[in-house]
Copies of this chain bind each other. A is one copy, B any other.
Amino acid sequence: MSKRRILVPFKKRTHDHAECIDSALVSAQSSCERQGLRLTKMRRRVLELVWRGHTPVKAYDILEELRKEDRAAAPPTVYRALDFLLNAGLVHRIESLSAFVGCGGPATPHFGQFLICRECSAVAEIDAPAIARALVADAEALGFHADRQTIEIKGLCADCSRLDP
């Protein structure tokens, strides 16, 4: 089996999620400073909402949340913040769900490979460079120059498959 790093594991229902949010914000902060990017109040708040849990978050759910907090907000507000966060490598878009998750390893650029539980919606992010390289090699063999990959795996996480065998 290939070497594989776990960027975001499946979390226990009981873990201290405030800590997840915190550490995500801290590393976002320093990641932005390093790159000379501005993590504004709005962007920071949207990032925080994306990290609300370990399940993908929809743009309009973020919007709704912002509106609860008396911020004037319209779709472009959210999509602009998400665009920034995507480009900054702080969140990933789950294409098959039209939704967003926090990135587990913003320090180094990568595309992300996602395991998505169809029962509880939990998402884990792994990084298996051997697989990414094998895909690039296969593409290259056809004269195709790959510059981006989307890899999303659906199934049942360990917890849910125990319950629903």
Contacts and interface: CB of A to CB of B under 8 A. Distances in A.
Contact of A131 (B134, B152, B155, B157): B134
A148 B154 contact: yes
Interface magnitude class on chain A: 35 or more
A96 interface: yes
Copies in the complex: 2
A72 interface: no
A113 B141 CA distance: 14
B135 A153 contact: yes
A139 B153 contact: yes
B138 A1 contact: yes
Nearest to A146: B155
Given A150-B95, A155-B146, A134 B9 contact: no
Nearest to A130: B134
A10 B139 CA distance: 11
A6 B142 CA distance: 9
A144 B10 contact: yes
A149 interface: yes
Nearest to A10: B142
A19 interface: no
A101 interface: no
Contact of A145 (B4, B142, B161): B161
A158 interface: yes
Given A139-B155, A142-B158, 7 more contacts: A1-B141, A96-B150, A115-B144, A130-B134, A139-B153, A145-B156, A150-B151
